A and B are shown apart, each in its own frame.
Chain A
Amino acid sequence: MPIILKDIKKIYPGSKEPVIEGLNLTIKDGSFTVLLGPSGCGKTTTLRMIAGLEDVTEGTITVDNTDITRMEPGDRNLAMVFQNYAIYPHMSVKGNIEFGLKNYKMTKEQIAQRIKDVLELTGLTEFANRMPNQLSGGQRQRVALARAISKSPKAFLMDEPLSNLDAKLRNQMRSELIQMFKQMETTFVYVTHDQVEALTMATDIVVMHNGKIMQQGSPKEIYRNPQNIFVAQFIGDPGMNVFLLDDGNYIGFKPRGLRSSGSDRDFSFEADLLTSEFLGFDYQYTFETGMGRIVMRSIDELEPDNHYRLYVQDADLFFFDKDQNVCEPFAIGGLKGVYHADE
């Protein structure tokens, strides 16, 4: 059964402006849903409202058709994994898991069995009696995961759980999380501002901006068919190049859709090459168009300090209306300038 957020509004006590308003979101049962967006867009706030750690100003949240909007966090049967692990420093690994289970109606034997199972699953068996300060960052995060798993929750809520780990460990934990997700067949709600994390792990991505949902879809949908300029420019490495046109509409193309050669039928414009960075597999070039800078990713090697005509094939063009939403192709008029959504 899904988690449904309906007409959610959130105003933090002491402030007047809502940080979230009119938020409607359905998190599909058994999905790995990633809330993705720039810093301050309200991802954590949304997750904490689901967990019950933050009051909902207006609207309702339901899980399995049960209204949980005003329910105590402990009664929601959800588990949360925090960015800084939040494992109890004065309890052993075992104690950390046991603490939550004791509040359930379970016998001593059931608890012991459950602890044994989760420790095995997370590869922590040999650390069962260690104190948290005798564990590495990765092991601590694993304890937090074990604690969450042990409760067999209806959903796992995770707020940037990997951001405190170094790059290598992060990759490793990422694949472990994916495996865990496949084994559990439970809903995961995962917050991050790292699009690589989102694209690799999610079944569903929810892109947020200023407390609003900009687009929800599978990683492929989000990547290939951005619904608006914000998503187009936020996703991708780097994001989409967008021109504002004289008539107020926009056109865009991805850095990989830009070519240094093409035919007369293609959309084209002139630009000076400013910088080139060799990235191993390909190059990243920055051009000055006279109306602003654009970026190109290409395996072609270009001469530095040169003047170029750049081409985009029709299939690689994206069209946006005055409201910055994707629309039917139109005849391209004069270019007014390069546009960045975040400026």
Chain B
Amino acid sequence: MSIKKRIFRVLECVLLIILFVMFIFPFYWTLITSVKGLYEAVAYPPTFWPSEFHFENYAQAWKHADFAHFGKNSIFMSVGATIILMLSCTMAAYGFARFEFKGKKGLFFLMMADIVIPAQVIFLPIFVMYSKMKLLNTYASYFFLFVYSGGVIFFLRNAFKQVPAELVEAARLDGASEFSVMFRVMLPAVKPFMITQIMLSFISKWNGYFWIQTLTTNDHIRTLPIAMNRLSSIGEEFISAWNVTMAGNVMLMAPLLILYIFANRQIKVAFIGNGIK
């Protein structure tokens, strides 16, 4: 190995270490703070390893943030919204990718508009509409928001477009029905894209704050991220219970981490094992 190459490798390693620390440190900090005592969590200078382990922080977080109620909401609403979103958007994307029909251009334009218009612009009319329809604080009001997403449709449409036309034609010659073509040929061919999109959708619903905060007036359909607010107000006078807050955050993040590890392997298998050639 030449000297130049060696220097390059060293630099590469240093850079990787810096990046690693930058990304891992917040995780580490959250994790150790979550098991510190109330005072140690806010002590200065901070400790990098807890002097005592307070696992009861987790029980406290669970109780104060009412994980039983909000957690149930989080799971039900994230899973439900993701299923609804994927079902409707997959079919819409499939239609845009495969068929010619009247008004396709116009519809496509509307769909793109959805990508450009931020939620902050439309939440007020939606709020008014829901309130008049007496839909506020109902699960339905939340799910209605996700029957449609321009971004997801656009992404999946492009994925479908990449599937060679001959595959569909081969299937048609094999006597496959339109449904069979979609579910047995097209969907498996875009599996990595589907998994990616399911992941992204689920994560954004799980972490979602904006819509739930703006479209609810009570706790009935609120979710964990909002419940986290309650944790900072416990503790003693002038001292927020950072340890309990962090314990809550760890429990909030854990499902996503598990999901990521699982899906990451899936995505790799899908991409490497079944690439479209």
Interface residues of A (CB under 8 A from B): 13, 51-53, 72-75, 78-80, 82, 84, 86-91, 99-100, 103-104, 131-133, 147, 151
The distance from the CB of B271 to the nearest CB of chain A, in whole angstroms, is: 11
Is there a chain A Cβ closer than 8 Å to B79's Cβ?
no
Taking a contact as CB atoms under 8 Å apart, the answer to whether B276 and A89 are in contact is yes
Q: Count the B residues whose beta carbon is within 8 Å of the partner chain — how many?
A: 23
Residues of B within 8 A of A87 (CB): 170
Binary contact track B25-55/A, C-beta < 8 Å → 1, others 0: 0000000000000000000000000000000
Complex: chain A residue closest to B188, CB-CB: A90
**Given that A82-B166, A84-B164 are known contacts, is A51 also in contact with B277, CB under 8 Å in the complex?**
no
Is there a chain A Cβ closer than 8 Å to B72's Cβ?
no
Complex interface: stretch among B3-11, B106-114, B172-180, B243-251: B172-180
A255–B240 CA distance with the chains assembled, in angstroms = 97
Is there a chain A Cβ closer than 8 Å to B83's Cβ?
no
Residues facing A in B192-237 (CB within 8 A) are none
The distance from the CB of A73 to the nearest CB of chain B, in whole angstroms, is: 5
Taking a contact as CB atoms under 8 Å apart, the answer to whether B176 and A51 are in contact is no
**Given that A80-B169, A88-B170 are known contacts, is A74 also in contact with B175, CB under 8 Å in the complex?**
yes
A89–B190 CA distance with the chains assembled, in angstroms = 11
Taking a contact as CB atoms under 8 Å apart, the answer to whether A88 and B169 are in contact is no
A89–B191 CA distance with the chains assembled, in angstroms = 11
Complex: chain A residue closest to B191, CB-CB: A90
Taking a contact as CB atoms under 8 Å apart, the answer to whether A82 and B273 are in contact is no
Is there a chain A Cβ closer than 8 Å to B89's Cβ?
no
A52–B174 CA distance with the chains assembled, in angstroms = 12
A75–B166 CA distance with the chains assembled, in angstroms = 18
Taking a contact as CB atoms under 8 Å apart, the answer to whether A73 and B173 are in contact is yes
Q: Which of B167, B172, B180 contacts A72 (CB 8 A)?
A: B172
Taking a contact as CB atoms under 8 Å apart, the answer to whether B274 and A99 are in contact is no
User: Can you list 11 pairs linking A and B with CB atoms under 8 Å apart?
Assistant: A52-B172, A53-B173, A80-B169, A86-B167, A88-B185, A89-B276, A90-B191, A99-B171, A99-B176, A103-B174, A103-B176
Taking a contact as CB atoms under 8 Å apart, the answer to whether A89 and B176 are in contact is no
Scoring B164, B173, B273 by chain A CB atoms within 10 A of each residue's CB, the highest score goes to B173
Taking a contact as CB atoms under 8 Å apart, the answer to whether A86 and B166 are in contact is yes
Complex: chain B residue closest to A84, CB-CB: B166
**Given that A82-B166, A86-B164, A88-B185 are known contacts, is A73 also in contact with B172, CB under 8 Å in the complex?**
yes
Residues of A within 8 A of B191 (CB): 90
Is there a chain A Cβ closer than 8 Å to B255's Cβ?
no
A104–B276 CA distance with the chains assembled, in angstroms = 27
A52–B172 CA distance with the chains assembled, in angstroms = 9
Taking a contact as CB atoms under 8 Å apart, the answer to whether B275 and A89 are in contact is yes
Residues of B within 8 A of A78 (CB): 173
A133–B270 CA distance with the chains assembled, in angstroms = 12
Complex: chain A residue closest to B172, CB-CB: A73
Taking a contact as CB atoms under 8 Å apart, the answer to whether B189 and A90 are in contact is yes
Residues of A within 8 A of B166 (CB): 82, 84, 86
Residues of A within 8 A of B174 (CB): 74, 99-100, 103, 147, 151
A53–B166 CA distance with the chains assembled, in angstroms = 10
Taking a contact as CB atoms under 8 Å apart, the answer to whether B175 and A79 are in contact is no
Q: Which of A74, A82, A89, A91 contacts B172 (CB 8 A)?
A: A74
The distance from the CB of A94 to the nearest CB of chain B, in whole angstroms, is: 14
Residues of B within 8 A of A131 (CB): 273-274
Is there a chain A Cβ closer than 8 Å to B63's Cβ?
no
Scoring B180, B188, B274 by chain A CB atoms within 10 A of each residue's CB, the highest score goes to B274
A80–B171 CA distance with the chains assembled, in angstroms = 11
The distance from the CB of A198 to the nearest CB of chain B, in whole angstroms, is: 23
Taking a contact as CB atoms under 8 Å apart, the answer to whether A86 and B169 are in contact is yes
Residues of B within 8 A of A91 (CB): 188
Residues facing A in B121-141 (CB within 8 A) are none
Q: Which of A75, A82, A132, A147 contacts B277 (CB 8 A)?
A: A132
Taking a contact as CB atoms under 8 Å apart, the answer to whether B172 and A53 are in contact is yes
Complex: chain B residue closest to A76, CB-CB: B173
**Given that A53-B169, A73-B169, A80-B169 are known contacts, is A90 also in contact with B274, CB under 8 Å in the complex?**
yes
Scoring A79, A100, A151 by chain B CB atoms within 10 A of each residue's CB, the highest score goes to A100
Is there a chain A Cβ closer than 8 Å to B105's Cβ?
no
A194–B255 CA distance with the chains assembled, in angstroms = 59
**4 closest cross-chain pairs (CB), A and B:** A74-B175, A100-B174, A103-B175, A86-B166
Complex: chain B residue closest to A137, CB-CB: B277
Taking a contact as CB atoms under 8 Å apart, the answer to whether B273 and A133 are in contact is yes
Taking a contact as CB atoms under 8 Å apart, the answer to whether A80 and B173 are in contact is yes
Taking a contact as CB atoms under 8 Å apart, the answer to whether A88 and B176 are in contact is no
Taking a contact as CB atoms under 8 Å apart, the answer to whether B173 and A99 are in contact is no
Residues of A within 8 A of B173 (CB): 51-53, 73-74, 78-80, 100
Is there a chain A Cβ closer than 8 Å to B184's Cβ?
yes
Taking a contact as CB atoms under 8 Å apart, the answer to whether B176 and A80 are in contact is no
| Other 10 A-B pairs with CB < 8 A, given A86-B169, A90-B188, A99-B171 | A13-B100, A86-B170, A89-B167, A89-B276, A99-B184, A103-B176, A104-B175, A133-B274, A133-B275, A147-B174
